[in-house]
Chains A and B, each alone.
Chain A
């Protein structure tokens, strides 16, 4: 198999997290095929994909920047904007929708004056929508900072978010 050259340029900053990204690329022999894996590791390390990171990945994997941007914008999982300190993902899969997932979303939007895909002005809370998190037996669900909250009423969800924002452990 063709061995690809290691990155030609140093990482955008001296941040140690770039090492993680580089390890992922190295494990895949810097093959262009590893683009999605690499973007996953950038997003996991930094929370989102910005232009310098995409430029560096493009150079290191020897793929055009246009392709990196195309892939990053094609898949819903990648975010080009920084997320808030805390995240709330409301599931709108079919089971959650039938059981009132939209009501959860509307209540969170109303209560925090947020809209889907946006972050509060203080950068504390981001609101997102998921297509299905696969916890349909617990519908309607929302994911708060990675923790699945099932069978919540709109009011219960808001109080769980408040607790999360105050930094208390979730119930």
Chain B
């Protein structure tokens, strides 16, 4: 494709869209598809034919519309409908020219929609992810063109550094610094890897980006490859996300066909190709060295760093690894500039963050909010609070590597540093709300069981430590724990944190430490109850013993 062709294609795509007076978008992501949104879309198409408006109404399968708990979601022009059944299709098509279908109408004026700020998800829910022409009509690959025809690799790295973007995979390492390191590293070939191994239970942001706007991820990777001097890219995706795999593969093939991937892209000297690699269900593969081992076809086991993948990664070559959401931010930063991006968020955390808001909350789904928003705003304004009149207890962020934050700290701004201070982490973006019915010791046990089974077994502190901590938590939960158990648990937490090889082990104690910090009373209650029960049993045993002794 020649540089000028992209704009022509975009123009043509927009013109094609403009031919229709009405547009119906049906969510086609895993969540809504499980409620048969594909059947619904077929039904809507059928109704359009029957009502004779095929020339004026466009039906489009799109990515996530956000409010997943009320799926299937359908947008008809400016109206959003929720819980739509196939039987509503006729009414929705008929309503295009008149009054809305009130019983399915979803209020888009509620804070869930108005308080969000969309960057990574700006086109999700508006474009057909399986149609590259539609994506180009919504500015896909425009930033890549800008970079290839008007910026040097150093300028690109500089732009990303100036934007203040930090890794969205959890740890928050400055993206520009990472790119600069790989760009400077000696040795060829270089690789760019996209980490789509979203193993954190309770999180589905990356899945949604890959399913809803796959070309955005490819574009971000291509820009990164140009900046660091790589020609090969790999997207590592969980096998549990078949739809994401299908859409990415399709997107790659389409991009190749339009020469947006491959040799001499836009007629420049830049070559770049991407392949998809499947994970096979191992949480530890989210760790970058383990991920590289898995891409090479081995057991996903981490290795000590340094050397960092930036110097010695895939096949021993310099490798850039970023998360899906990080790549999703790149086209917007290039398009609108570092200063624009840096104006959003807090001093040290710039831009927005996508969260999967789930658990005991009224509005569960995907949200994208500016950094610095408070947890209270997220949970009570956007999330709509706790259902069934229950009281809020804690919010869990960062999955098995994060912690539980209580009511008293809800006014903290959401950024990397504040969450770290609270003993949690930003993580990849899972946010699980718990109400008063959840027992926090049980929650800690749940996460420890997860870490125990997901430990790869390479280093002893993690392999044995998580097992022992799980046993101790089990004893406490089952009412046989003692003060000594609690003491030992604390000691083990510290030890595993300090001595484990990789992030999995180093952060595995976080859920325990944070629940101990904010909900120690729940541990004490269980242990005291166990103590009382033991004393009572002893007393009973003693009484029996006495009565036995008097018998000859």
Contacts and interface: CB of A to CB of B under 8 A. Distances in A.
A33 B296 CA distance: 5
B15 to A, nearest CB: 36
A99 B432 CA distance: 11
Given A76-B281, A131-B281, A98 B438 contact: yes
B446 interface: yes
A42 B117 CA distance: 44
A130 B453 CA distance: 12
Report the interface size class on chain B: 35 or more
Contact of B35 (A31, A63, A97, A150): A150
Interface in B22-40: 30-31, 33-35
Nearest to A136: B358
A137 B364 CA distance: 5
Contacts of A40: 239, 278, 280
Interface in B284-337: 294-300
B358 A36 contact: no
Contacts of A75: 279-282, 300
Contacts of A92: 201
Contacts of A74: 282, 299-300, 456
Contacts of B294: 36
Given A77-B239, A77-B280, A131 B31 contact: no
B299 A71 contact: yes
B34 A136 contact: no
Contact of B356 (A70, A136, A148, A150): A136
B226 interface: no
Interface stretch (B152-160, B202-210, B479-487, B498-506): B202-210
A141 B68 CA distance: 13
A134 B34 CA distance: 12
Interface string A81-123: 0000000000011110111000000000000000000000000
A76 B280 contact: yes
B359 A99 contact: yes
Contacts of A32: 297
Given A31-B297, A95-B359, 20 more contacts: A33-B296, A35-B298, A36-B277, A36-B280, A74-B299, A77-B280, A92-B201, A94-B202, A94-B399, A94-B432, A94-B446, A98-B434, A99-B360, A132-B199, A133-B30, A134-B240, A136-B203, A136-B356, A137-B71, A138-B34
22 contacts: A36-B277, A39-B280, A40-B278, A70-B299, A74-B282, A78-B280, A94-B396, A95-B201, A95-B364, A95-B432, A98-B432, A131-B281, A132-B199, A132-B240, A134-B203, A134-B241, A136-B203, A136-B364, A137-B67, A137-B356, A138-B31, A150-B35
Interface of B: 30-31, 33-35, 67-69, 71, 198-204, 207, 239-241, 277-283, 294-300, 356, 358-360, 364-366, 396, 399, 430, 432, 434, 438, 443, 446-447, 450, 454, 456
Interchain residue pairs A-B with the least CB separation, the first 10:
A137-B68, A148-B34, A75-B280, A93-B201, A94-B202, A76-B281, A132-B201, A77-B281, A95-B358, A134-B204
